[in-house]
Structure 1
Amino acid sequence: MNKEDLIKHLSLVEHIEGGYFSETYRSETSIATSRTGSDRSILTSIYYLLTDDRPIDYFHKNQSDILHYFQAGSPITYLVLSPSGKLNKVKLGLNFAHGEVAQLLIPGNHWKAAVLETGEFGLLGESVAPGFDYRDMELGKADYFQDAFPDLWLELAIYVKD
């Protein structure tokens, strides 16, 4: 399969963070939270695709924990920035001998970005608990990153969509 086949077969649409996605599951059961709107599905899941023409998942953070699962294609490099400013890079893929991991947990309130560095596409699955809600997501802004992480700004700038 190529990227066009995957986009069609999985009914993927462009995502505001970059890449493409489709929601595959949203639990009907919800839980009360202290977040705006309070009730959230217990769990949601999506397919997420980065392609050679949409290779960047721009910095954003979610209030919920998110598990990322490698599915197919080329590996994807994640940049994970903790609230204290510690930057970690992890490659999601199946080449374990080269340090890749098949799944990656991004804790809630950590900034994350991802990039497809080579290949035509990288396909992931993501599970979010409590379930994803756009009210719980924040897109990174250049002014914030420059002020909060001045020593990292030059490295992070390409992954901040403004």
Structure 2
Amino acid sequence: MTMDASPSIQQLVDQLKLSPHPEGGFYRRIFAAPYLVSTPYGERPSATLIYYLLPRGGFSQWHRLRNDEIWLHLGGDCIHIYTIAPDGALSTQTIGSGLSRDAHAPGMTWLAAEPEPGSAGYTLVSCIVSPGFDFADFELGDADELTPLYPKHFDLILRLSRSGSQGG
């Protein structure tokens, strides 16, 4: 009998003190800059940083932030990060393999992510948001609203949605 050296999802959640995230997966804020900046929506830290963990088979459902987000791969399997710009242009970035360790999601783009199947069974990233993350700047996507706006991406939107009558 062989033992898998990879930590279990529960071990990672416990070790990193993570909580469930509304978009899927688990997270914990690990840094908020002490410097505040004024935005049209209120004061925010100049930047925030979280750990974000997605287990195999999980996904980060469609969402958008008002501010830019940078994803940094920390461990586990590769992850595919999808963005849909306001004009409908789809971008796919895969991080965690070779030198590709980071991805950028501009503010006000729809964003979703899913781990690439692999041996670790999870993907661990850090996400930096600037100006810093606030749930007031966060919107979950609804498949019923997104599919008419971006019909070319119908299948991808449905696959990475949990809400709406069509969401998985």
Q: Distance in 1 between matches of 2:152 and 2:97?
A: 32
Matches within 5 A, 1:10-159: 10-35=16-41, 38-52=42-56, 55-96=58-99, 101-119=100-118, 120-159=121-160
Q: Distance in 1 between matches of 2:162 and 2:67?
A: 21
Q: Distance in 2 between matches of 1:71 and 1:20?
A: 14
Check the 8 A contact 2:63/2:140 in 1, yes or no: yes
Offset of residue 94 of structure 1: 2.6
Q: Deviations over 1:49-107 (max 9, x none)?
A: 00025x100000001111100000000111111111011111111334xxxx2011111
Q: Distance in 2 between matches of 1:15 and 1:137?
A: 12
Offset of residue 4 of structure 1: 2.3
- Name the Cα RMSD after superposition: 1.2
Q: Which moved more, 1:130-139 or 1:44-53?
A: 44-53
**2:3 corresponds to which residue?**
none
Q: Distance in 1 between matches of 2:123 and 2:80?
A: 10
Q: Deviations over 1:1-60 (max 9, x none)?
A: 41222111110111000000010011222111112xx1111111000000025x100000
Offset of residue 146 of structure 1: 1.8
Q: Distance in 2 between matches of 1:42 and 1:122?
A: 26
Offset of residue 154 of structure 1: 2.1
TM-score, length of structure 2 as denominator length = 0.88
Q: Distance in 2 between matches of 1:105 and 1:60?
A: 14
Q: Distance in 2 between matches of 1:88 and 1:78?
A: 8
